[in-house]
Structure formats: C-alpha cells, structure tokens
A and B are shown apart, each in its own frame.
Chain A
Amino acid sequence: MPELMQFFLSGITVGAVYALVALGFTIIYNASDVVNFAQGEFVMLGGMITVFAFEAGLPLPLAALIAILGTAVIGVALNRLAIEPARGAPVVSLIIITIGASIFIRGVTQIVFDKQIHRFPAFSGDAPIAVGGATILPQSLWVIAGALAVFIGLWLFFTRTLVGRAVLATANNRIAAQLVGINTKFIMTLSFAMSAAIGALAGVLVTPITLTSYDIGISLALKGFAAAMLGGMGNPKGALVGGLLLGILEAMTAGYISSQYKDAAAFVVILAVLFAMPQGLFGRKQTDRV
C-alpha cells in the first residue's frame, strides 16, 4: 500500500506540473482558437529568468516576480509583433508562427543565458513530508497549490466576469465581438499576457523539482497539450483534471507495469478517452446548426 501512495504522490506532483502548463494553453486558445506552441517557452522563461535574477543576488520572491512580469511582457510582444499582424490568417498558419516563436525564444535564451541545466532552491526546503507511508517534497505542495489557485482563478474569470466572457466571444466570432463593442485587440493582448504569466508562474514553481534549461519547453508543451486535450481544450477544469490524470497515469504505469512504456500508456489512454469522448473529458460540444 505505501507504494501505491508513493505512486499517487508522484503522479499528482507531475500531474500538477502538466496541469499548470495545460492551464496556460487555455486562455490563448479560448481567445483565438490557437494552440500556442510557445507556451512551453513561457514556462522555461519563468524558470530561467528566476534562476539568473536569483544568481545575480536578488531575493527569490523578487526574482520570481520579475520572471513572471518579464514573461508576460514577452507574451504581449509575441502577440503584438507576430500574432496581431497575421490577423485573419488561417489557424494552421498562426500555429506555425507560434512554433517559429518557440524556436526563436529558445534561440535567444541560449544566447542571453546559457545551455546549462539550472535550479534554484525549493521554497520551503527539501525535507520530505511523510504521507501514509510515502513521502512528498514541500515544493510539490507548492506546485499543486499553484495549479489549484490558477484553476480557480481561471474558472472564476471565464464564468464570472464579463471580460472572461468577452475572451470566449472573441474566439467564437471575432467580427461579432467587435460588433458588440469588444476591443478584440486588447482581449488578445490580455490573453497573451495572462497565458505567459501563468506559464512563467509554472516555471517558477516547478524548477526546483524538474530543473530547467533553455530547451525544456518543448517536452513540457507537448505534455501540457496532451493533458489539455485529454481534459477538453479550453476548459480550465479539463486542463486541471487532464494534467493530474496524465501524471497519475504515468506514475502508475511506471510503478506497476513498465517504466519504458509509461508515455505510451498515457497516450493509449488519451486515445481511448477521445474515441469515447471526441471532445475530451470536459470539452464542450460544438453546436453548429445546418
């Protein structure tokens, strides 16, 4: 039994990481139908900027704040310089732009910073906390709490605020959004800023666990994307559940079946879920009448 507990704790730790990345995808997707493949780069920037600010002597909280704000600015710049000018382009073209952006950001990072692996200290030390015969690191609790907080924030934003609804409206029908007085450009800017900030926050929280380097973005984005699709793209609940589920699945497979094929198992389950629920677990079904 303790090993089950350990697998579970491992699963939710990793799952919370995926969930944070997946939550970052949600806003830009909800505003524009674009899956931003540079989302992983935001996570990387959050970690890397914190590392270097911290090593330059800033206190960790300040370094983290700078990283989050800095990444948000980069997100806004990405929108203003690359996405907005391509307005009206097909969604695949926009996706390629975000892929280009992710390569670009990686390229800049390796020059501005370096190609080494980095880490900064965990927020509350490294002393494991015992839970039911298993252990979890305090930093994992930070990550889980972060994922929950971001989830609640986003959920309230999309269901309780008019601006949140305006974001959904912008993606659903941009012309109609303008016709009701929504400043769609601002909405896009806001979405990129929020997505980037959430990504950076994820980076800040997970770096003490996963470590960071200029090229961790791709694999995080990949897993986050898979998690978001498992849960249903665009729904914060889906991102959270999808992320946690994916993490737990991987941990259980690694623990009970085969660590070699744990990623495979995760994808097999995703495929199985999608066959039964083509919109993911919580994705809303499109109702388009003919």
Chain B
Amino acid sequence: MRLSSKTITLLGLAVVIAIAPVFFPSSFYYRVGSLIFVNGLAVTGLVILIGYAGQISLGHAGFAGIGAYACALAPVHFGLHPALAAVLGAVLSGIIAWLVGRPILRLKGYYLAVASLGFGVLVSMVLANEAAITGGPDGMAVEDPGLRGALKAIGIDLSNTEFWYAFSGLILVIGAWLALNLYHSPTGRALRALHGSEVAARAVGIDVAGYKLKAFVISAVYASVSGSLLALQNKFITPDVAGFMHSIEMVTMTVLGGAGSVIGAILGAAILTILPQILTVFQEYEQLLLGLVMMLVMIFMRDGLLPSIARRLRRGGE
C-alpha cells in the first residue's frame, strides 16, 4: 500500500517522539520535550487559524489561560477531577471563542489583531485582578490529575517528567492528525480559499463568516488544551499563561516554522522552546541572540522554516 504524505508525516512525528528519549542524557530533556509538545499543540491550532484561514490572533493565550485556570479552579471550586476540568476548559474556550469570534472576526488584518489582543488582555486582567478566586498575579497551585498513578496501577511506572512527555506527545500527535486531516478536506479548502479571496469564496457558496468562526473555535480549543496540559504538568499556574507575551510567542512559533504547515509550526515551537535553553551558555547575550536568530530565519526563510526548506530541497532535486 502506498502511504499518503499525511500518514508519513504523522508516522514521522510519532516515531521522532517515541525514539527521541533514547538520546536523552538526563530526564530534564523529557521536560523540554513535553514543553515542545504543549507549545506545538497551541501552534497547531494557530496553523488552522493563521495558516489556513489567514486570520491573525494576538489573543490566543487568553484561551490557554482559560484552559489552564479551568484545571486549577474547577477541582477547587466544584470538586471536578482535573482531567475533566481540562475538558470543561476546552468546551468553555470553544463557547467563549464562538461568542467573541462572531463580532471580532468581521474585522480584518491588524484590526482583528488588536481586537483579539484586547480579548487576551481582558482574560489575563481578570485572572490577575480577581485574586480572591485565582490567586492573583502570583498564581495558584493545580491538583495532580492522578493519571500517572492510574498508569502505575496497570504496571506502567513512569517518572513525572516521563509521563508528561509521553502524554503531551500523544495529545500532540492527535492534534496534528486532526489538523492534517483538515487541510485537504472540504473545510480546510474552504478556509484556505477565504484566505485567498473572501469575495470569491462567498461566490462559490462558502459561508465565510461561519468558517472563520469554526477556525477560531477550533484553534481556541487547541490553545485551551495546551494551557491545561501546561497547568497540569507544572502543578502551578500564573496569569502569565494568558499574557500578551505568550500570545506573541505562539504566533511567532507559528510563523517561524511556517504558518501553512503543521509540522513546520511544530518545528517552530521546538526551536523557540529549545533555543532559550541553548542560549543560556551565552549568559547576558541570550536575548540578543534570540532576536538575531528570529530575524535571520525570517530573512532567509521568508515563508517559515519548513516551507522554505522544502522548496529548496525540491529545487535542488531537479
């Protein structure tokens, strides 16, 4: 049987995630790995929104914040299991995205960017200001979901970092699978079409507003799950997760790796997650170098890492 490029991509991703630990010198690398997957999940959602549908959001950290705080708050206030709280957070994010998206997605380009930014600011402001509920800027603790314990009960004993590596990795593969499915589906084509020309998309019967909203909701759910994963594995969460800088970071990862490509964006997440760890040896030059790398990548690989490399390989091949 011939494998489709989608299957190959997914298999590749899964294999890399499964094999990588062989090369880990210490269990710290599991932590970095799981962070990459958590970020990768968020940017996969943004690939759908930015890469497919061409709608910019500078407020998606707001959804990550909702997902994260759902895991922190629901167990405390409603006695919900943290894993269920993550689901609740995702549903809530989806609903909020649906409500918020309807009005703001009428805006275009930078106007949409600033409106979504406003949404993100509102969320992080509520999280920081309602200290009585959320613990304020100093954050709050998150209960352990006990999934690791459940695994132990069936004989799989993983360390904390190992477990979260495996678990986030699994969720990422599922997330990537869904996003890749979407690309060549009627919905994915509709999103990419309205990216190209809204008028033409309408003229062929695409409900542009509806599809934008769908992309927004889906990407919000991705961000929310990513926030939940982060909260659960850190066992502690602060409003920074919903902050403007986190939104910018998510968009940067997406564009750096290649907004139109799921694997590219995951690569972008990997780079921007690993880079600060590598740059620590340069001490105070860390920031400077981070900025420099970002600029250089975008200057020489203008469509993002993966699409640019792919294009070069293709060209070289002929």
Contacts and interface: CB of A to CB of B under 8 A. Distances in A.
Given A106-B287, A226-B118, A86 B111 contact: no
Contact of B110 (A89, A94, A229): A229
Contact of A108 (B288, B293, B299): B288
A162 interface: no
Nearest to A25: B110
Contacts of A100: 290-295, 298
B207 interface: no
B125 to A, nearest CB: 5
B270 interface: no
A105 interface: yes
Interface string A52-94: 0000000000000000000000000000001001101110111
Given A92-B259, A107-B290, A278-B106, A270 B295 contact: no
Contacts of B298: 86, 89, 93-94, 96-97, 100
A90 B291 contact: no
B173 interface: no
A226 B284 CA distance: 31
B193 interface: no
B294 A103 contact: yes
Given A103-B291, A103-B294, A107-B287, A271 B118 contact: yes
A278 B298 CA distance: 30
B171 interface: no
A70 B302 CA distance: 29
A97 B302 CA distance: 10
A53 to B, nearest CB: 22
B108 A93 contact: no
B110 A233 contact: yes
Contacts of A102: 291
Contacts of B289: 107
Contacts of B110: 35, 229, 233
A278 B108 contact: yes
B285 interface: yes
Interface in B101-122: 103-104, 106-108, 110-111, 114-115, 117-119, 121-122
Contacts, number: 128
Interface string B184-200: 00000000000000010
Given A88-B302, A103-B291, A96 B121 contact: no
Contact of B107 (A97, A104, A274): A274
B176 interface: no
Interface residues of B, number: 45
B256 interface: yes
B169 interface: no
B248 interface: yes
A279 B118 contact: no
Given A92-B259, A271-B118, A274-B114, A82 B299 contact: yes
Contacts of A278: 106-108, 111
Interface string B271-301: 0000000000000111111111111001100
A267 interface: yes
B114 A226 contact: yes
Interface string A94-126: 111101111111111011000000000000000
Contacts of A261: 125, 129
B59 to A, nearest CB: 10
A85 B297 CA distance: 12
A275 interface: yes
B302 A110 contact: no
Nearest to B59: A267
Contacts of A225: 114
A110 B295 contact: no
Nearest to B245: A218
Interface string A155-194: 0000000000000000000000000000000000000000
B115 A96 contact: no
B114 A229 contact: yes
B50 interface: yes
A203 B302 CA distance: 32
B252 A271 contact: no
Nearest to B260: A90
A261 B118 CA distance: 13
Contact of A104 (B121, B248, B292, B303): B292
Contacts of A85: 299
B118 A267 contact: yes
A92 B294 contact: no
B244 A267 contact: no
A188 B273 CA distance: 33
A270 B114 contact: yes
B175 interface: no
A270 B291 contact: no
A264 B122 contact: yes
A222 interface: yes
A283 B1 CA distance: 56
Q: List the 10 closest A-B pairs by CB distance, nearest first.
A: A104-B291, A107-B288, A100-B294, A107-B287, A103-B291, A89-B302, A267-B118, A100-B295, A229-B114, A86-B299
9 contacts: A89-B299, A96-B256, A97-B299, A101-B291, A103-B288, A105-B291, A106-B291, A271-B115, A275-B106
Interface of B: 50, 56, 103-104, 106-108, 110-111, 114-115, 117-119, 121-122, 125-126, 129, 199, 244-245, 248, 251-252, 255-256, 259, 284-295, 298-299, 302-304
